[in-house]
Amino acid sequence: MTKESMLAEDRVIVWDADFGKQIFESDYCGKLKEDRFEMSLIEAAHMLEMKKIKITGPDGKDIDLKSFMKYCRNIDPRFDFRYTVYKDLRKKDLPTRTGFKFGCDFRVYAKGVKPMKRGPKGAKEHTKWIVFAVPEKFACSFHELSRAVRLAHNIRANMLWAVVDNEGNVGYYQVTFYKP
């Protein structure tokens, strides 16, 4: 079933809360609000590509996938490689959430984990990896690398650099905190 949604700058809103709840619980994406369901541009692009939603622009006209991707690139210059990583993680059946509030691109859970579970979570139900999506020629300082590893360590997750090469393939590199 395809649902209408509305583009609102850096997010897409579905005004059908019941449909939003279904997506939220089955695809582990977006945020449920009292009267609506909101998705990041990456989540919405994935839902649009899967034909689960239709996106309407501020002018009331439908936006096709190609136009939406162009819009996303204008909002986020890192969109293409971030979206490539998001799709790759989702293709591997790994529950993947945005990681903005954690200072990373994505929070990823182990296969089979339901990241939306309410109440106390077991050790295996917490974020397993925080993921930083970068292009192949990316360079960072040791300070930046240290910050990323410390962030992951502080939330008891593993830090992954998801490197997207020029052909669109993703390689994952884990860097861990080690205390001798």
3-75 is a CATH 3.40.1170.20 domain: yes
What single string gives the DSSP state of each residue in 71-114? HHHHH-TTHHHHHHHHHHHHHTT--EEE-GGGTSSEEE--TT--
Task: Tell me which DSSP letter residue 60 carries.
Answer: S
For the domain made up of 79-175, the CATH class stated in words is alpha beta
- Torsion angle of the four alpha carbons 50, 168, 78, 53, in this order, in degrees rounded to the nearest 10: 0
- Domains of the chain, residue spans: 3-75, 79-175
Which residue, chain included where needed, has tokens 């993680």? 89
From first to last of its 180 residues, the chain has per-residue pLDDT tens of 556 777 888 899 888 878 877 877 777 788 888 888 899 999 999 999 999 888 988 888 889 999 999 999 999 999 999 999 999 999 998 989 888 777 889 999 888 776 655 556 565 667 889 999 999 988 888 888 888 888 888 778 888 999 999 999 999 998 877 777
Handedness of CA 56, 61, 62, 67 (dihedral sign): negative
